[in-house]
Amino acid sequence: MLKMAFLPYLILIISSLRGLFLLGFSLPPTPYIFFSFTIVGIVLVVLSAKIFIFMKKPGPLHGYLKLFLINVIFGIVWCFGEIIIVGFNLESLRAFLFYFIIPISVFLFIRAKENYLIATIYFIGIVVALSCIIDFIICNLYPGPPIGYEIKRPILDALVPFGSPRNPSHIGLVSRAHGITGNYHDSAHILTMVSVFSVGKLLFEKKNKILVLILTIIILFGLFSTLSTSNIIAGIIGITIVAFYPSRGIVIRIIYLSITGYLIFLFFQGGFFLFDQVSPDLDMESGKMKQMTQLGTSSYSNIIISSLLGHEHLSGISDLGKSTEIALFSMITYLGIITIIPLLSLICYPFYIYLNSNQVIKEKMWVPIITLFTGIITLWHYASLFRSTSIFLFFAFYSMVIKTYSERKFHLWNYI
């Protein structure tokens, strides 16, 4: 029987690397199979989180518990609204679990051994990165198109749920790497968070420098091979922020990042002229940017009403949610402002803790807090944050912030 102590790491692997199980056991990629992986993770979390031990304890986890319960209450009200309008459906159940129940995983991850948790995160990052790099090489270098596409297609068919687009995607003549998740946005989102975290580890910790440098380079190459522009930009922003604090040692950090960035640039630009092909999409007048900033055709009054009430996909009051590629706007029209405020308060709670910490604690939690920030700002586009591949990973980083504060401020581990 598997010991409960291994559950945090098992849950992360099951959720982020479910593609390995699909390929290894030849499971059909039906929506129900995919949803079953999420259900297994949630059931394991709920059974082992033991939130009752924080009911009357001081510290940030007690505050988090209050926010979690408030969020659940608002989620139940929202879910009843869905049932009243359209009846019970799998989409509403999935949304309820992802937005309102999965945050309970913090209470499980907070009790995980940090070195094991970090090792699991690196394992996930490397598996996803290598799968993306191999994918990229097969489709673009050897054997390259069109044979590479034919090699990739059956793997993509095995990883992508029925009803979702399965054709290999590309920018210009360069094929995107989908990786083990089967989706280049989902793979990129994992690698965005892990790359920021890994760069922070490389710059601010003295042990295993060479190993961490090698892992960081692999993860960054994997991220760029997805060609997920929004995630890559978020990663660059996160890495820039994490690298320039504190001021001491900034020269060596600039050298590290400059060398790594130059190697990545040489590979992708020298072999594929990739940045020449991507740069037109970044023009605000380009079709891609106009598509990303599309807000639909509804009047402002309808958008405001839809945003306040939520359930836009059922009410049809506005078309903002189905027209926009900005995930946060889509979430607002789906959940409603009243419902999303407790959720965003819960998601942003670590930043409140950070701002109320002394300088010593701030420095210790700097890397995971910027990793969280990077994950959140990816909501400017595709909402991979609230996909099963990323959401548990996000709350694993979340737990590191609370754990750092708790250990130094409240000695929480005396009674956990």
Q: What are the structural domain ranges in the chain?
A: 4-292+348-414
Of 102-106, 251-255, 328-332, 346-350, which gets the smallest average pLDDT?
251-255
pLDDT at 273 over 60: no
What's the full length of the chain, in residues?
A: 416
* Mean pLDDT, residues 200-211 taken together: 88
Highest-confidence range of 143-147, 186-190, 236-240, 249-253, by mean pLDDT? 186-190
pLDDT at 285 over 70: no
Chain center to CA of 312: 25
Distance from C-alpha of 18 to C-alpha of 270, rounded to nearest angstrom = 34
* Mean pLDDT, residues 234-263 taken together: 79
Distance from C-alpha of 312 to C-alpha of 319, rounded to nearest angstrom = 8
Beta bridge partners of 174: 171
DSSP letter string over 164-185?
S--SPPEETTEEPP-GGGT-HH
The percentage of the chain sitting over the pLDDT mark of 70, rounded to a whole number, equals 87
* Mean pLDDT, residues 262-274 taken together: 65
**Residue with the larger pLDDT of the pair 303 and 391:** 391
Which tokens go with 89?
Answer: 């459906």
Q: Could you tell me the pTM of the whole model?
A: 0.90
What pLDDT shows up at residue 119?
A: 96
Distance from C-alpha of 294 to C-alpha of 271, rounded to nearest angstrom = 33
